[in-house]
Amino acid sequence: MSIPKAIATVILVFAVSVSSAGAGQDARTEFFASLKGLCGARYEGGMTFPVDGRDDFAGKLLVATVTSCSDDEIRVPFLVGEDRSRTWIFSRAAGGLQLKHDHRHADGTPDAVTMYGGMASASGTPLVQSFAADEHTANLIPAAVTNVWTVSLSADQETLTYHLERDGKPRFTAVLKRVKSASAS
């Protein structure tokens, strides 16, 4: 049985990150700082492992842009083709680092299924953080009670990977490459 390339990449990045993590700051703080340092960066790519039974992401350009970077919160709008309804919110919270998924309608009003996510575990690294579903998520989406979202950056920060597992099995993976902005003429 072979491991999909994207999952193997996440595992490799995690292993390298674990071996290079220092005894300095908490890895969650370092991850947040790395993400904040990417403010304005745009990543593009596609789905490499599909959501079971869903094809609404298939063949669509996926774009994540690191925006709205403060000392306590970073917003990353996540576009699926022309759909601009999703934003990942990384925030410092009591006990560490939190990831929430903000879903909005075209008019800006919150979707009925929004602000789900969880807290980063203490076992992450400066380049890889995993967020287990919190109580709000379990109440909002009972099937997602076992969800774990893993967000990773490559060591050169040129690749951002977003991976979702449910019930310990891969459910969705997106691999996004950093887009260099064109120089002004």
Tell me the pLDDT of the chain (185 aa) as tens digits. 445 554 544 444 444 444 444 444 699 999 999 999 999 999 999 988 766 656 678 889 999 999 999 999 999 999 999 999 999 999 998 879 999 999 999 999 999 999 999 999 989 999 999 999 999 999 999 999 999 999 999 999 999 999 999 999 999 999 999 998 765 44
The tally of CA atoms less than 13 A away on the side-chain side of residue 8 is 5
- Distance set, CA 181 to CA 17, 40, 47, 129, 132 (Å): 27, 10, 23, 27, 34
Tokens of 91: 């925030």
Residue extents of the structural domains in the chain? 5-178
Distance from C-alpha of 135 to C-alpha of 169, rounded to nearest angstrom: 20
Fold of 5-178: Lipocalin (2.40.128)
